Structure 1
Amino acid sequence: MNNKKRAIAAIIIYLLIMIIGVSINNNFFSMENNIGRLISLSVIQVVSSAYIFYTIKKYYGWKNIGFGKLNSKSLVWFLPYALILIAMGFSLVQSISENIGSFSYETWLTIILTLVGTSLAGFSEEVIFRGMILNSFKSDKSIIGAMIISSIGFSIVHITTIFMGKSLIEAIANVIYSSLLGFSFVALAIKLNNICPIVIFHVIWNFILMVSSSINVEISKVALLCNPVNIIIGAILWIIIIRNQIKKNKLKYNLDKVITW
Structure 2
Amino acid sequence: MNNKFVASIVVCTIYVLVIIVGQKLQAGAGNISLSDLAGKQVLIAPVVGLIFLIVVTLIFGWSREIGIVPPRTLKSVTLAWLPALFIVCFFLLGAAIGFPPVQTLLFIGVNTLLVGITEEMGFRGILLNGAASRFRLPAAIALASVAFGAVHALNGFITGEFLFSAAQAVSAAMGAVLFTALLLRSGSIIPGMIVHWLWDFGIFVFTAGRPEDANVTQASRALLLIGPLLFDLPGFLYGLWLLRGIGKRSKEEMVG
Q: Judge which range, 186-195 or 114-123, deviates more.
A: 186-195
| Overall identity of the aligned pairs, in % | 22
Alpha-carbon distance, 1:86 to partner? 2.0
AA at the equivalent of 1:10: V
1:254 paired residue number: none
1:127 to 87, 103, 121: 121
Q: Is 1:173 matched up with 2:178?
A: no
Q: Distance in 1 between matches of 2:107 and 2:18?
A: 19
Deviations 1:125-153 (A, max 9, x none): 01111111122222498322321221111
1:239 paired residue number: 244
Q: Distance in 1 between matches of 2:174 and 2:76?
A: 20
Gaps of 5+ in 2: 212-226
- Give the TM-score, by structure 2 length: 0.77
Deviations 1:187-241 (A, max 9, x none): 2311121121111111111112123333437xxxx98864332232122233321
Structure with a larger share of its residues in helix: 1
Aligned residues: 233
2:81 to 66, 79, 82: 79
2:222 paired residue number: none
2:11 paired residue number: 10
| RMSD, matched Cα | 3.1
Shift in alpha-carbon separation, 1:212–1:73, aligned structure 2, 3 A? closer
Q: Distance in 2 between matches of 1:14 and 1:24?
A: 15
**How does 1:112-191 map onto structure 2 within 5 Å?**
112-139=106-133, 142-191=136-185
Gaps of 5+ in 1: 249-261
AA at the equivalent of 1:110: T
Alpha-carbon distance, 1:42 to partner? 1.4
Alpha-carbon distance, 1:37 to partner? 8.3
Shift in alpha-carbon separation, 1:114–1:36, aligned structure 2, 3 A? closer
Shift in alpha-carbon separation, 1:226–1:77, aligned structure 2, 3 A? farther
SS in 1 for 2:243: helix
**How does 1:14-29 map onto structure 2 within 5 Å?**
14-27=15-28
Q: Judge which range, 128-137 or 172-181, deviates more.
A: 128-137
Q: In terms of Rg, which structure is larger?
A: 1
The answer to whether the Cα contact below 8 Å between 2:22 and 2:45 also exists between their aligned partners in 1 is yes
